[in-house]
């Protein structure tokens, strides 16, 4: 695939059929968005930890279609605050990128600015900037993400919202029983089983969550 197609979409035309002029549903396997990763050791964004889509220290711009901020023990890092950011790329694929710690705090600091600008976080284009830091304890260099925003074009917001309408947006491998969701914007919360003594036959009889490969 053309690498430019892997960049976040900032143009509504990327989600419209050239044949019919209708908005296309985003390509998304339920529970498995295309995974982009912020590599805090290098200050880059890559896909699946392999293919870089930015250069070290360069910004990454995208518009949110869903957001979850939550407390959980992910990737054996202990219980931290995480943010899952969901967006569409230029190939009309639903994607996610995850940040934690100071990067989440920097994202949350936008709240008051957005309030006074009378904007929601899904009505703006976010710019994620890797900023270099040095650990006082080890002396090792690392990056955290800082965020800025500009108002998104109304046609982009409308078109991308239509492209994800009705989709159950979540990332299956980060869903934990003991998580605490702090912020939910268009994120699909899987129902939790409340009866710990339910046997396997009972589980098999439960209705499955709607949705499938798109």
Q: Is residue 39 part of a domain?
A: yes
| The pLDDT of residue 198 | 43
Cα gap 207→198, rounded to integer Å:
14
Residue 107 is part of which domain span?
3-205
The DSSP result for the chain, as a single string, is: --GGGGSBP--GGGGB-TTT-PBPPPB-BTTBPEEEEEETTTTEEEETTTEESS-TT--EEE-EEEEEEEEEE-TTS-EEEEEEEEEEBTT-BEEEEEEETHHHHHHHTHHHHHHHTT--GGGEEEEEEEEEEE-TTT--EEEEEEEEEEEPPHHHHHHHHHHHTT-----GGG--TT-EEEEEESPPPPPPP--TT--HHHHHHSPPPS----
Asked if residue 213 belongs to a domain, the reply is no
Phi, psi for 135 (deg, rounded to 5): -70, 130
Assess if residue 60 is contained within a domain: yes
**Residue pLDDT tens, the chain, 214 long:** 677 899 999 999 999 999 999 999 999 999 999 999 999 989 999 998 888 999 999 999 999 999 999 999 887 777 899 999 999 999 999 999 999 989 999 999 999 999 999 999 999 999 999 999 888 877 888 899 999 999 999 999 999 999 999 999 999 999 998 899 999 999 999 887 543 444 445 445 545 444 444 3
Quote the number of domains for the chain. Answer: 1
Has residue 212 been placed in a domain?
no
Which neighbouring-strand residues pair with 68?
A: 84, 184
Q: How far is CA 28 from CA 25, 47, 170, 213, in A?
A: 9, 16, 10, 6
Is residue 211, in this structure, part of any structural domain at all?
Answer: no
d(CA 11, CA 196): 47
User: Is 57 inside a domain boundary?
Assistant: yes
- pLDDT value at residue 212: 43
Q: Does residue 105 form part of some domain?
A: yes
In the sheet where 60-62 sits, what is the strand order?
A: 60-62, 124-134, 141-151
Residue 214's pLDDT is 38
Which residues, 6 or more positions from 45, have their beta carbon under 8 angstroms from its beta carbon? Answer: 36, 37, 38, 39, 52, 53, 54, 60, 97, 128
72 contacts 179 by C-beta, under 8 angstroms: yes
Query: What pLDDT, on the 0 to 100 scale, is given for residue 19?
Result: 96
pLDDT value of residue 73: 87
pLDDT for 110 = 95
Q: Does residue 210 sit within a domain?
A: no
Residue 78 is predicted with a pLDDT of 76
């Amino acid at each position: 695939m053309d690498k430019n197609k892997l960049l976040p979409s900032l143009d509504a035309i990327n989600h419209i059929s050239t044949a019919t002029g209708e908005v296309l549903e985003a390509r998304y396997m339920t529970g498995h968005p295309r995974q982009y990763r912020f590599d805090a050791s290098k200050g880059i964004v890559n896909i699946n930890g392999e293919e870089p889509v930015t250069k070290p220290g360069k910004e990454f711009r995208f518009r949110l279609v869903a957001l979850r901020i939550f407390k959980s023990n992910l990737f054996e890092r202990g219980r931290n605050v995480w943010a899952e950011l969901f967006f569409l790329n230029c190939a009309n694929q639903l994607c996610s990128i995850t940040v934690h710690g100071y990067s989440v705090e920097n994202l949350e600091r936008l709240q008051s600015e957005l309030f006074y600008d009378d904007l929601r976080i899904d009505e703006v284009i976010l710019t994620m900037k890797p900023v270099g830091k040095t650990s006082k304890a080890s002396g090792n260099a690392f990056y955290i993400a800082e965020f800025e925003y500009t108002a998104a074009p109304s046609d982009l917001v409308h078109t991308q919202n239509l492209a994800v309408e009705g989709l159950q947006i979540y990332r299956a491998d980060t869903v934990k029983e003991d998580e605490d969701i702090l912020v939910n914007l268009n994120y699909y919360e899987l129902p939790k089983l409340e009866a710990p003594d339910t046997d396997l036959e009972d589980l098999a009889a439960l209705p499955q969550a709607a949705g499938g490969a798109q």
